[in-house]
Homo-oligomer: A and B are copies of this chain.
Amino acid sequence: MTKPLEQVLLTPGPTPIEPHAQKALSFPMRGHMDPEVFAVNARVQENLLTLYGANSSAFTCLLAGTGSLGMEAGFANLLEPSDHVLICANGSFGYRMAEMSERLGANVTVVKAPIGQAIQLEDVKAALEKQAFKLVAVVHGETSTGVLNPAVEIAKLAKSYGCLVTVDAVTTAGMMPYHMSDWGIDYSYTGSQKCLSAPPGVAPVAFSSAAIAAVEARKSKVPLWYADLEGLQAYWNRREYHHTVPVQLHYALDAALTAALAEGLEARAIRVHEVGAAALAALETIGFSAFVHRPEERLPTVLAVRLPDHVQDVPVRSGLRDHGVIVTGGLGETAGKIWRLGLMGESARPAIYHRFFDALEKVLGVKGLITAFDKHLAVRA
């Protein structure tokens, strides 16, 4: 195929590729058992401890798959058939967690919240009072709706009931404060193409020492050989062959992760807040509004905005696409009603939002969006 034109991705994943990661993609091929690859892997493991705020007793690695494999690997390792698991669900990814756990034969209880609202702590507490759970799982930031769940509070609560805790960090770790060990989280995962802006295809994961002990104490083998913790440890810790790894994606993730830590996780959290607030302020000038009502429940990395009456979802996004700007609509019941603007990694850049607002001005025939965005950024800066 001929080389496609550049696009500006404002989607809630994948994000625009980080420049060092792009460059690393074209490094020469290496075998998965090459000492140079193991050196890259070791640096990735060390840097993932920092990304997740995990102490050195945690095990980190990359799974050879996308974020959904990260989700599934957690349940496959931590749950045995008939184990009781409590899933917090208020969007597509929470319900996906429940689906995966059911397929693994677990006994699944779901705590729900309406679309666009965060999981309520008292609902989790009520469920924990009713019966004992081996594992409690929650999506930190629901990509499908732009809702931030109180994962920290849920983790602490679940811990006080003696449960293991899985937190989906797909839209948060690397772009927001994340302190896995302090918060009592036992398993976290993300996708390479989200907050780190590496190419999709690897899933950075972290198991706490309690999670490792729980896997070691299983009565049955992990049903998923491909992401079995013991096999992952064999390759990543003992440098034994398990399966071929996507070396180019290791190079690229390593480069993106190194760049993220060089920028600083706190600086990145500030960046996403500033760009996101300015983007919302600019959109509000033409009638868009935040989809998530409560400001404290808004996920900083995915700005979900309700469309004003004068903006038709599909035609306007199609017009933006003609200008090379890609925006994602709603899912399920929010389809046609909201847009979800990515603010993860390289998408949380003023230059990206300038391209978006420039195209939006042209498609809608309005003016002043870039000016409003810049003004808000300057006030906050």
Measuring CB to CB, which residues of chain A are less than 8 angstroms from any residue of chain B?
1, 3-7, 9, 11, 13-14, 16-17, 22, 24-32, 34, 36, 40, 43, 64-69, 72, 96, 99-100, 102-105, 191, 193, 199-202, 221-226, 241, 243-249, 251, 254-255, 326, 328, 331
Contact = CB atoms under 8 A, between A and B. Distances in A.
B14 A28 contact: no
Nearest to A31: B11
A241 B5 CA distance: 23
B1 A243 contact: no
A244 B199 contact: no
B68 A225 contact: yes
A241 to B, nearest CB: 8
A201 B249 contact: yes
Contact of A201 (B14, B241, B246, B254): B246
Given A1-B40, A69-B64, A14 B247 contact: yes
A97 B40 CA distance: 30
A28 B1 contact: no
A22 B248 CA distance: 10
Given A30-B7, A40-B1, A64-B201, A14 B225 contact: no
Contact of A66 (B104, B223, B244, B251): B244
Given A65-B65, A201-B246, A246-B200, A72 B224 contact: yes
B31 A103 contact: no
B1 A24 contact: yes
Most interface-central of A3, A22, A43, A223 (chain B CB within 10 A): A223
16 contacts: A1-B24, A1-B43, A3-B28, A4-B30, A7-B28, A14-B31, A31-B326, A66-B244, A67-B243, A68-B226, A68-B243, A69-B226, A72-B225, A200-B246, A224-B224, A246-B246
Contacts of A1: 24, 40, 43, 251, 254-255
A64 B193 CA distance: 14
A226 B63 CA distance: 13
Nearest to A249: B201
Contacts of A6: 28
Given A28-B5, A103-B222, A249 B251 contact: no
Going nearest first, the 8 A-B pairs with the smallest beta carbon separation are A201-B246, A68-B243, A66-B244, A65-B65, A199-B248, A6-B28, A100-B225, A200-B246
A243 to B, nearest CB: 4
A17 to B, nearest CB: 5
Contact of A4 (B28, B69, B226, B331): B28
Contacts of A66: 64, 243-246
Contacts of A245: 66, 200
Contacts of A34: 7, 326
Nearest to A35: B321
B244 A246 contact: no
A244 B14 contact: yes
A191 B299 CA distance: 38
A241 B11 CA distance: 14
A262 to B, nearest CB: 13
Given A26-B26, A31-B11, A68 B244 contact: yes
